[in-house]
Structure 1
Amino acid sequence: MPVSSQPETIAVIGVGVIGSSWVSLFLAAGLKVRANDPAPGAEERLRAFVANAWPALENLGQTKGLTLEAAQAALSFHARIEDAATGAQFVQENAPERLEIKRETYARLEAGLADDAIIASSTSGIMPSALQELMTRPERFLVGHPFNPPHLIPLVEVVPGKQTTEACVEAATAFYRAIGKTPIRLHKEVVGHVANRLQGAIWREAVYLAQQGVASVEDIDLAVSAGPGQRWAIMGPSMTFNLGGGRGGMAHFLEHLGPAVETWWADLGAPHLDEATQKMLADAFDRLDDAQFEKAIQHRDKALLRRLRALAEDAQD
């Protein structure tokens, strides 16, 4: 079955934080968006989110001169999933993380979609093969898992299920890349995909170090953000160590530091989120009131925006 390679109309199902962020990005790319969400007041919250996200998207050059008013006009809201699906060539689904709800959503989507439309799920934990199992056309389904917030963070993990065609994978990957995302393709289904497993592994060791009294939660966070995190925003851990090997590259690094790395691996902890550990982690942040929490979010997004612009400028040199 051929799939649509240049979608112009996108259906976004579920417009909570993730879905609204996706909508903002799609609108900035000049696409028409047909949204659906059963929650009361969802459309008003969605349009407010788009308005708040628009300055950052303009700052990044994503909007290419498109005005917020024109973007809002390209957004329509629909009470029924079937209506949102009508005319869409690509669907980004953000329904609750429950298998039965997502399967019901796909059944309703397929009732309104053209045969060549792709359905991508933002799921962070459910395997695509399980999600596509009851679909009429499972070959056009895959996972397109973003990192929050999708309109700012480039990564999207493209994960095919057992019945997904290669044409679908290629078309979805090309689409995400065309709207400014950085897609990676997974060749095997695995719980948590790639990025969540990596950040989960780092956090596991961070929790272990705090649990063992090696350093405070705050200082362990600083060890990441002021240390390797500075490099990880530019390149991944393997390239980091490759450069760490000097002109000899990875081979030189492994020859001289490989045994040391193995001792680090052997000594990594395996903490459990028992009551005491949960209290330790919660207590580290309980001093943030609502205003401070909002300020932290704004700091995160503004700093992220500055770094994204700097990286984009470097890429053009």
Structure 2
Amino acid sequence: MARKATIIGGGVIGGGWAARFLLSGWDVSVYDPDPEAPRKIGEVLANARAALPALADVPMPPEGRLTFANNLKDAVEDSEYIQESVSERIELKHRVYAEIQAHAPDALLGSSTSGYKPSQLQEKSTNPEVLFVAHPFNPVYLLPLVEVVPSPKNDLQRIEEAKEILREIGMYPLHVRKEIDAHIADRFLEAVWREALWLVKDGVATTEEIDEAIRMGFGLRWGQMGLFDTYRVAGGEAGMKHFMAQFGPCLSWPWTKLMDVPEFNDELVDLIAGQSDAQSGHMTIREMERIRDQNLIGFLRVLKERNWGAGKVLLDHDARRAAEAPAAKLPALDAPLLLSHMQVLPGWIDYNGHMTESRYLFASSEVTNAFLGLIGAGLDYVAAGRSYYTAESHIMHLGEARLGDALTGSVQVLGADEKRLHLFMRIERDGAPVATIEQMLLHVDTVNGGTCPVAPEVLAKLQPIVTAHAALPQPKDTGRYVGQRKSR
């Protein structure tokens, strides 16, 4: 039975939470009195379905079930985790918590608040031990950071439970050790935001020029190295001490207006909004979200390749899911063996947006490798100096696969002896064929470079499959040659 999470508030952040839990295999109940909530969450979920799977290198779990509750009582029933994302009004939050805890007093209850401290949220709570801040960053379904902020009233064991749940759905829970207004990240962003408002108000820069300064320069450094490591590198071989000695004196210079706030009036709002409209008003918000998501996927996958920063979180999450996968065992032999579950990743796509030719063969190699592992001819066997080498392949392209598509790979053994292995593989999407690959493999002594008989223990595992598959119908496309007309 799937675990259940409840999302209270179906806006941008609530929708992102719903998508993150759903795509991680949780059932999700949403409560939001806004009649537009199902449409809004549906649009966020569509973006998430196109984006989050592109970060994974292991199969995503089956998607959970999404429901919309008519009241809070139904929404929180049987929930293991509840996330509140309502408007930033403390009296509203207190009313919501009172009703939640009247029906689910012991459920973990996180708040997406960007400003309130947990002690403020807990003021009227009947069970403050389970109520804490879990502040994410948009888009919640892609960015891993969530600031977890407890107060002295929290049960730290329950906070650890919450952090483990957040890790399970691929997030990075940053435990904020001391409650403070606006937590860590938003306090930092607030300082940058204030300075940006002054630069626009004083006519020094436009909104577009400020954004260009960030995305063409220090934003790229921050995205993969943060602030302090960036400045450590700036200190050269002498490191952070040299940097502090060199640039410390400038802290006393009147460079910023950090402690001063421009008057927030209609003139400032119109100035900022007008420049922002001129900068990117030609795109819809949904178009901008999709551009943002694809850019983030590219950045995050580069970091993942280097096991660095947010990419390390993705790698750890893949490893966790792989470890939780059922142990491989010999499937029933009365049908082709379903051995591989794959996902079409960004690097698999060509300029047409389809899976490129080389990846069809890669998909078949995943099936072959799974089969060889099943019969005992995996990596340990190769390390001992013996292996199967592909001698011939024939591939038929039967369908298109796009980014994020889930593929399965099955194999039927057409024949085998001590030195040869004849396989027929099917790559499918939702039960429809994407490709078939027929292969002949030779068993090789990798030390001496020639064919040799397969090890008896491998042949013992292989032979029952050969015998069983001999009774299966022969695939109609076996033995084809290039250019041969398709059978009808």
TM-score by length of 2: 0.58
Aligned 8 A contact 2:7 2:31 in 1: yes
Match of 1:11 in 2: 6
Shift of residue 24, structure 1, vs aligned partner = 0.6
Aligned 8 A contact 1:30 1:63 in 2: no
Match of 1:3 in 2: none
Write the letter of the residue equivalent to 2:28: V
Q: CA distance change for structure 1 residues 201 and 63 in 2, over 3 Å: closer, same or farther?
A: farther
Match of 2:249 in 1: 259
Task: Compare the two structures and name the one with the higher helix fraction.
Answer: 1
Match of 2:77 in 1: 86
Shift of residue 294, structure 1, vs aligned partner = 4.3
The answer to whether structure 1 residue 77 and structure 2 residue 68 are counterparts is yes
The answer to whether structure 1 residue 106 and structure 2 residue 97 are counterparts is yes
Count of aligned positions: 304
| Aligned residue runs from structure 1 range 298-317, under 5 A | 298-315=290-307
Pick the aligned partner of 1:38 from 29, 33, 37.
33
Q: CA distance change for structure 1 residues 62 and 23 in 2, over 3 Å: closer, same or farther?
A: farther
Write the letter of the residue equivalent to 1:306: G
Write the letter of the residue equivalent to 1:32: D
Match of 1:151 in 2: 141
Shift of residue 58, structure 1, vs aligned partner = 1.2
Aligned 8 A contact 1:21 1:150 in 2: yes
Write the letter of the residue equivalent to 2:255: D
Superposed CA deviations along residues 242-271 of structure 1, whole A, max 9, x for unmatched, are 1211222111211222223x145x421234
CA distance in 1, matches of 2:109, 2:178: 19
CA distance in 2, matches of 1:92, 1:25: 12
SS of aligned partner of 2:41: helix
Aligned 8 A contact 2:105 2:126 in 1: no
TM-score by length of 1: 0.87
The answer to whether structure 1 residue 194 and structure 2 residue 194 are counterparts is no
CA distance in 2, matches of 1:160, 1:16: 24
Write the letter of the residue equivalent to 2:83: Q
Name which of structure 1's ranges 135-144 and 181-190 shifts more when overlaid on structure 2.
Answer: 181-190
Q: Which runs of 5+ in 1 are unaligned?
A: 1-6
Pick the aligned partner of 1:212 from 202, 220, 240.
202
Write the letter of the residue equivalent to 1:165: D
Q: CA distance change for structure 1 residues 279 and 50 in 2, over 3 Å: closer, same or farther?
A: closer
Write the letter of the residue equivalent to 1:92: Q
Match of 1:239 in 2: 229
Write the letter of the residue equivalent to 1:20: G
Superposed CA deviations along residues 99-124 of structure 1, whole A, max 9, x for unmatched, are 22211211221222263x21101111
Larger radius of gyration: 2
CA distance in 1, matches of 2:129, 2:202: 48
CA distance in 1, matches of 2:39, 2:200: 42
Pick the aligned partner of 1:60 from 48, 55, 59.
55
Name which of structure 1's ranges 21-30 and 75-84 shifts more when overlaid on structure 2.
Answer: 75-84
CA distance in 1, matches of 2:190, 2:66: 36
The answer to whether structure 1 residue 25 and structure 2 residue 17 are counterparts is no
Q: Which has the higher contact order (CA 8 A, sep 6+)?
A: 1
Shift of residue 19, structure 1, vs aligned partner = 0.8
Shift of residue 178, structure 1, vs aligned partner = 2.3
Aligned 8 A contact 2:24 2:60 in 1: no
CA distance in 1, matches of 2:120, 2:298: 39
Q: CA distance change for structure 1 residues 311 and 8 in 2, over 3 Å: closer, same or farther?
A: same
SS of aligned partner of 2:16: helix
Shift of residue 44, structure 1, vs aligned partner = 4.3
SS of aligned partner of 1:145: strand
Aligned 8 A contact 1:13 1:95 in 2: yes
Q: CA RMSD in A?
A: 2.3
Shift of residue 46, structure 1, vs aligned partner = 2.5
SS of aligned partner of 2:306: helix
SS of aligned partner of 1:156: strand
Shift of residue 79, structure 1, vs aligned partner = 0.9
